[in-house]
A = this chain, B = another copy of it.
Amino acid sequence: MPDQRRSVLGRALRILDTVSDAPGGLTLSQISRRAGVPLTTAHRIVGELHAWGALERSPSGGYQIGLRLWELAAVTPRSMGLRQVALPFMQDLFETTHRGVHLAIREKDQVLFVERFTSQETAADRAQVGARYELHATAIGLVLLAYAPSDVQEATLAGPLAVPDWHPPVTERELRATLAEIRRSGYAVTSIRGEFRSVAAPVYGPAGAVAAALSLILPITEPYGPRLAHLQATTRGISRALGSPLGRATAPAGRFRFG
């Protein structure tokens, strides 16, 4: 195993990471500095990445992530396979409710947003497609955590439970109770900055395990009962389309991957 820090590939991948973290593009020297790669070496690697199409030059001259990479990623099974199945259902839900709809999966100990629809009114959230957040802080993350393997749950419960500044602190004890309640009821609710409410429910994959979660963002003033019914109808539809056996509300936890 070549040293991850020195190998060409390691450096190239670090460069890609660096560039993708910088909206608006980076100049070669910036890449060199931020990725910790000597300028000459960066020059060579970036040259190759550019020749292949992994990087492109923006009109302003900097480098940015190229289309070729996006094309590769368009076939990523875990995100796009799921997305393809879920999209029509999300559309329906969006049409009937006109509220923000989010689809996310759990990746390691974080929640990863795969797709979202937002209306202008409910666009108050920053959850970009491709963004990661802590599992315990959002409704959609809580759902994923509630059905995650126990080692992930314990890791999260043991770690520091950081919360946004507008959010009351969370203790491990409270979180355990919350997760149990989610497993019992089959959904999670949280408030966002006191202005919105996020309601989330699990999506089951073919193995009967939770493969993803779907959430709906509502104004805090709106009762969420009726919307919850819509949401759960949608998650049931997606689960069925994914080939889930769709048993009881509390399904066995476990790990599932598309492929």
Contact = CB atoms under 8 A, between A and B. Distances in A.
Interface stretch (A60-68, A138-146, A177-185, A186-194): A60-68
A51 interface: yes
A67 B78 contact: yes
A16 interface: yes
A163 interface: no
A53 to B, nearest CB: 9
A66 B7 CA distance: 20
Nearest to A17: B72
Given A9-B8, A20-B72, A88-B120, A259 B65 contact: no
A169 to B, nearest CB: 30
A150 interface: no
Contacts of A59: 256-257, 259
A4 to B, nearest CB: 7
B9 A49 contact: yes
B65 A70 contact: no
A23 B91 CA distance: 26
A17 B131 CA distance: 24
Nearest to A21: B75
Contacts of A95: 95
A214 interface: no
A73 B73 contact: yes
Given A51-B4, A117-B91, A70 B73 contact: yes
10 contacts: A1-B48, A7-B48, A58-B77, A62-B259, A65-B73, A65-B76, A69-B72, A69-B76, A70-B79, A74-B130
Interface of A: 1-2, 4, 7-10, 12-13, 16-17, 20, 23-25, 44-45, 47-49, 51-52, 54, 56, 58-60, 62, 64-67, 69-80, 87-88, 91, 94-95, 107, 112, 117-120, 128-132, 256-259
